[in-house]
Amino acid sequence: MDEHRQDVFLQEDELPQRKSLRDEVFEYLHKRIIAGRYAPGEWLRQEEISTLLGVSQTPVREALDLLVAAGLAERVPYRGVRVLQLSTIEIVDAYVMRLVLESAAARLAALNITEDQLAALRETLEKTRALITLDDMSTQRQLNKKFHLSMVAASGNSLLSKLYETVSNTFPDWMLYESMFRHPELLQESLRREFQEHEAIVDSIAARDAGLAAQHTLSHIHNLSMEFETFLAIPADMLRDRENQILPMLELTL
């Protein structure tokens, strides 16, 4: 292969790729779940979705697999896929586990993060800066999850990352986003606060301040619990009781 021909191939490889049908169906379903068009526990019928969108069942099946992997749906053996429906105790358990795992991950990330990981974390953060409208919610939610997964991965502990991914798939942040569609007057304030909290976490990790990184992360997750009370009617006394059980072990305060 001559030099000119090789350059042509390199340029072609670098061209942006069109989204696959699977990804387009995933984004369609993702947006509808976050907007509350599909309720918790509602079945996502593969054949119905295929007919509605005018596509074959293969990309729909693959998109449903992505929804399950993202924690928005669950696959029930012999029955199909439905939007995830969580009990109050499951939500509280996931919240407590995020307090534990993410504060530990932030502490480790401040000690172990590489320059490439830090740059990638900042890049993901920056992409969320202007995402403050209802139309942005699906993209914002996906980037938010990417931010937290990347921060945990930067801890350098692969087992911690695996445990965290399991917990994050049970954490109902998408239910909080869905509530924003019913309370749009609170949306911009909530997302701006979230951006500022993420920025504080990244800055403390970049400064290699392990204690401050853990504290900022704990405060950020705690603020989500306040939204649980407001939007999901999770009892405040249950949340505070579980926090008080775990905080002494973390040696952090709210």
- Helix 88-112 vs helix 158-168: crossing angle, to nearest 10: 150
Residue 57, φ and ψ in degrees, nearest 5: -75, -15
Q: Which of these, 115, 175, 173, 137, lies nearest to 31 by C-alpha position?
A: 137
**How far apart are the C-alpha atoms of 118 and 100, rounded to whole Å?**
22
- State the DSSP H helix or E strand holding residue 74, giving kind and residue range, or none if neither: strand 73-76
Domains in the chain with CATH codes: 3-83 (1.10.10.10), 88-250 (1.20.120.530)
Cα–Cα distance for residue pair 204/96, rounded to 1 Å = 22
Tell me what pLDDT residue 96 has. 94
Distance between CA atoms of residues 212 and 173, nearest Å: 24
Three-state secondary-structure class, residue 134: helix
Q: What is the pLDDT of residue 183?
A: 77
Q: Amino acid identity, residue 138? A: S
pLDDT in tens, the chain (254 residues): 333 333 333 333 333 456 789 999 999 998 888 878 898 899 999 999 999 999 999 999 999 999 998 888 999 999 999 998 889 999 999 999 999 999 999 999 999 999 999 999 999 999 999 998 888 888 888 899 999 999 999 999 999 999 998 898 888 877 877 777 777 788 888 889 999 999 999 999 999 999 999 999 999 999 988 888 888 889 999 999 999 998 888 877 77
Identity of residue 39:
A
DSSP-H helix ranges across the chain: 3-13, 21-34, 46-53, 57-70, 88-112, 115-127, 137-153, 158-168, 173-182, 187-206, 210-232, 236-250
Tell me, rounded to whole angstroms, the distance of Cα 101 from its chain centroid. Answer: 15
Alpha-helical (H) ranges within 72-157 are 88-112, 115-127, 137-153
